[in-house]
Structure 1
Amino acid sequence: MGEDVAGGLQPDDRVLLARLRAGDDLAYGDLYRRYAPAVRRFALSMPRPGIDVDDVVAEVFLRTLRAVRGGCGPRDAIRTYLFTVVRRVLGEWAAARRDEPMNADELGEHAPRQRDHQFVQAEGELLARAFHRLPARWREVLWRTEVEGHRPASLADQLGLTPNATAVLAHRARRGLREAYEEAAEVSGRRAAGCSRRG
């Protein structure tokens, strides 16, 4: 099923892509079942600094769906297209992780010892403020995955989603928390600077 040994598309893959482009949601499930194992194996073979492979697979198929529905995406060599998206996702996410704020523990290692308690408390307040600004659905999936330690796939039934959609939701929630945290930190920094000028 799918690609032949030479890497070309068999007719059923072309039909599948045509159905997907025409808005057939069942075609998306067929595409996922056919290629997700290969995409997962490929992602596992790549460097992934702290990045969950299930999140990568979910993002790859989501981007492919958007591209195809938008009139772009693969028309042949579907496996090559998916692998290219894996590389792109891993590159973007690895770069984002390098740019994201360090957590309180990491920051505490670099702060003077006498300021540890105040520093961690301030970071905790910023994080809490950012967390409470998120939509309820994002807060729920973040709490269940990051605090309680559940894998996104194990929460799918409870959230009324597919495992793939749950992984995508968890990734979006983490990205939303990071952005909300950065915004809260920026606001806090501006207030602190204002107080310094007035003081």
Structure 2
Amino acid sequence: MGSSEGAVRSSDDAVLLARLRDGDDSAFGELYRRHAPMVRRFALSMQRSGIDVDDVVAEVFLRVLRAVRSGRGPRDAVRTYLFTAVRRVLAEWAAARRDEPMTSDELGEHVPRQGDHQVAQAERELLARAFLRLPARWREVLWRTEVEGHRPSSIARQLGLTPNATAVLAHRARRGLREAYHQASDLPVGRARCLRRA
């Protein structure tokens, strides 16, 4: 795209954003048609496992619509704003997504054979030691999500956080538990796969 064409497009975007701020909902449809293919390509280039790209595109444009309607959001440089929104949505959703179950092959690696009860007991003790090393806030969110099975959004209010902040806290806590476990067991990070992947 030439610089003059880019300037025209940027000018057109500014006009559409101004119309949208003035309550013209058809302007949103035009913005969507103009930028959705590019946003989708960008989201695909940053693909995260288990996250649907079309859902990301829809969420990005929904956030733009909410921002503009509340008097915030982009006034120009729409493309930069949209790319930033894609990155943010992917990061939030990756942190909030529950871990995928292990495959049967992975599970088989961690099922103790008959007579390996001492090994299993030692693993449990290592995990308990690692858990107790964590900050109280991390222990609380891990217990609520991993043991009791609550989703971050359902315990956010009790923790005094937003659902997104709770999901990020749970993600950090899981990562911290893995690191503490590796330190306690002196295993390379790739070996202790019995802990769920974040």
Give the structure-1-normalised TM-score: 0.48
User: Radius of gyration: which is bigger?
Assistant: 2
